[in-house]
A and B are shown apart, each in its own frame.
Chain A
Amino acid sequence: MQDKTHSSYKQLEQKSKYTNLFLRWFLYFVLVIFALYFIFPLYVMVVTSLKTMEEIRQGTLLTWPSGLNFDSWLVAWGGRGYGAGDTFLKPYFWNSIKMVVPAVFFSTFIGAMAGYVLTKWRFKGDKWVFLFLLFGCFIPYQAILLPMARTLGVLGISNSVIGLVLVHTVYGIPFTTLFFRNFYVSIPSELVKAARIDGAGFFKIFFKILLPVSTPIIVVTIIWQFTQIWNDFLFGSTFSFGEAAPIQVALNNMVLSSTSVKEYNVDMASAIIAGIPTLIVYVLAGKYFIRGLTSGAVKG
């Protein structure tokens, strides 16, 4: 099959060898130009973070740094060691970790349960319940920002990591439900039916039959939720400030804080630090990342 396609391509290629050669080169040329466009900001970020301010002023964006100088990284991560006005990322990085881990866990768990019920324990009107949940993927969060701020205030968890865990858990549920529901729909219900006849209960069926085959969708869901929550800025900046802020908010504050001299090298080091966890996940598990993206991409 593969070979046949290949040979027919070959015949066609021989017909107009030169135009094809030209087209091939053109193809690679365009692809490489775009690759450069996409890689350019990352390159600039990395080299800028390794330069001193003196080098930055003398060279251009593309100039190679004179050496591997990680001073800006240390300043971005741990500060300069003096008191007031010294913002650095370390505490906020941990805030983000403390926020991401429970929020990913709870939203994934609730979504898995909901997806399981919606596909294997179907009830009258379950389609409507799914649609009801699904709509939550699409709402612009501006429409819930004001009441959420009030609610967090009433609960006494505004400006805290716990508050952000709650927010991210709740607004993650529509996505996690969508993922698990679409995955479990493709698993034959006969297995579940047989187990039910054998007297297996609700949880036993989940843990013995569905959970063991769920690894791929769990990975997709965790990666999706992790990326979304780690990268969130709207909720972080609206519901927290000062010490409870997650890393994206801290990064933005650091970059915007108007000290006398703008230190672009520290800014770039900070941006890389804030972006590294999700980049690592992307590089290590790109396949799952893309799967989540194409099926849950409704979020902005």
Chain B
Amino acid sequence: MLKWLEKNLPKIVMAPAVGLIGWFVYGFVLWTLYISFTNSKILPKYELWGVGQYVKLWGSRKWLIAVDNLLIFTALFLIFCVVIGIILAIFLDQKIRAEGVLRTIYLYPMALSFIVTGTAWKWILNPTLGIQKMFIDWGFENFTFDWLVNREMAIYTIVIAGVWQSAGFVMALFLAGLRSVEDEIVKAAKIDGANLFTVYWKILLPMMRPVFFTSFVILVHISIKSYDLIVALTQGGPGISTTMPALYMTQTAFHKSQVGLSAASAMMMFMAVAAVIIPYLYSELRRENAR
């Protein structure tokens, strides 16, 4: 008995982690998947109902708006975070004085919660006393900046706050990537007469492919899951103009008590994330095995 215990101790120690994840991640996802095929309202029902919830979901105007917003947000969030991140990383890489201070400033938003970020930006962007008033008081009397309460433009305020929060993080990833490149490569290129621009554009950035890939995966992941920021900044409004899938899911489940429908929306999000993550994990694993 004691022998057996000793032999299997590692597996026994491993068991809580595997058991908890097996139950709370895989078991729960399967449960949600099952419920998405039932006609559950307030309480879950277990008779299968087919794909009715998915049909309903893709026929819902609110869901289509949510998906639309997600696409707009993801595209802009990605572009701005990556462009700003790369610019900051390259510029910081030029033996800059006070690099440490600047880096700290660029990255501190990552330490804040999206609720704090959203609260701050909501105040800054509010049309009565925020930026708009600042410009009017400075003498630009016709200046208007009412994106926060404008149906067409509100989604872009979420982009502004989201980029503010996450661009520094892309900077950190790229800076780490650039720093890991051998000095020799840059030196050799310079001696061959390449200017700084060419060095970065033709040599260093192409070498950063894995970093681009990682940033892409992480940023898309953040944007599919974005929830807190919208709650704090616009609560999906004005109207339903800034609804996103994560917000749709919780509202459908907990305010409208449409458990089946909300499970279907959760599964759509799950599939979207899986489509990005599985290739990523696969390539990471291959890289590790190749080592």
A interface residue numbers (CB < 8 A to B): 1, 5, 8, 12, 23, 27-28, 30-31, 34-35, 37-42, 44-45, 48, 56-57, 60-62, 110-111, 113-114, 116-118, 121, 123, 129, 131-136, 138-148, 150, 169-171, 173-174, 177, 201-202, 227, 230-234, 237-238, 248, 251-252, 255-256, 264, 267-268, 270-272, 274-275, 278-279, 281-283, 286, 289-290, 293-294, 297-298, 300
Contact = CB atoms under 8 A, between A and B. Distances in A.
B17 A173 contact: yes
Given A8-B191, A143-B32, A138 B273 contact: yes
Contact of B107 (A8, A171, A290): A290
A81 to B, nearest CB: 24
Interface in B4-26: 6, 9-11, 13-14, 16-18, 20-22, 24-25
The secondary structure that dominates the B interface is helix
Contacts of A143: 28-29, 32, 266-267, 269-270
Given A28-B96, A31-B92, A61-B133, 5 more contacts: A142-B269, A146-B262, A238-B250, A281-B111, A297-B173
A143 B36 CA distance: 10
B114 A289 contact: no
21 contacts: A1-B183, A41-B109, A45-B123, A48-B123, A56-B129, A61-B134, A110-B16, A114-B13, A114-B14, A134-B281, A135-B25, A138-B273, A141-B225, A142-B246, A238-B254, A251-B116, A252-B232, A255-B122, A275-B111, A283-B108, A293-B110
Interface string B95-109: 010000010111111
A286 B112 CA distance: 13
B10 A123 contact: yes
Question: Which residue, B115, B134, B169, B221, has most C-beta atoms of chain A within 10 A?
Answer: B115
Contacts of B130: 61
A37 B171 CA distance: 15
Nearest to B121: A41
A131 B135 CA distance: 53
Nearest to B217: A298
Nearest to A202: B9
A233 B32 contact: no
A146 B253 contact: yes
Given A56-B129, A136-B25, A264-B129, A271 B253 contact: no
Contacts of A39: 105
B263 interface: yes
Interface string B126-169: 00011101100110000000000000000000000000100011
Contacts of A264: 123, 129
B69 interface: no
Contacts of A274: 113, 115-116
B119 A267 contact: yes
Interface residues of B, number: 100
B35 interface: yes
B267 A248 contact: no
Interface in B25-61: 25, 27-29, 31-32, 35, 44
B176 interface: yes
Contacts of B6: 201-202
Contacts of B10: 117, 121, 123, 202
B84 interface: yes
Nearest to A62: B134
A74 B14 CA distance: 47
B129 A57 contact: yes
A162 B25 CA distance: 19
Nearest to A32: B102
A22 to B, nearest CB: 13
Contacts, number: 268
Contacts of B172: 290, 293-294
A171 B21 CA distance: 8
A224 B36 CA distance: 33
Interface string B158-194: 0000001000110011001000000100010011000
Contact of B120 (A45, A123, A134, A147): A45
B86 interface: no
Contact of A278 (B29, B113, B123, B226): B113
Interface in B241-286: 245-246, 249-250, 253-254, 259, 262-263, 265-267, 269-270, 273-274, 277, 281, 285
Nearest to A277: B111
B91 interface: yes
Contacts of B134: 60-62
Given A144-B25, A255-B122, A298-B218, A177 B17 contact: yes
Contacts of B176: 294
A254 B24 CA distance: 32
Nearest to B222: A300
B113 A233 contact: yes
Nearest to A173: B17
B72 interface: no
Given A8-B191, A113-B13, A31 B96 contact: yes
B55 to A, nearest CB: 20
Nearest to A113: B13
Given A28-B96, A139-B273, A170-B21, A230 B113 contact: yes
Given A255-B232, A256-B235, A145 B249 contact: yes
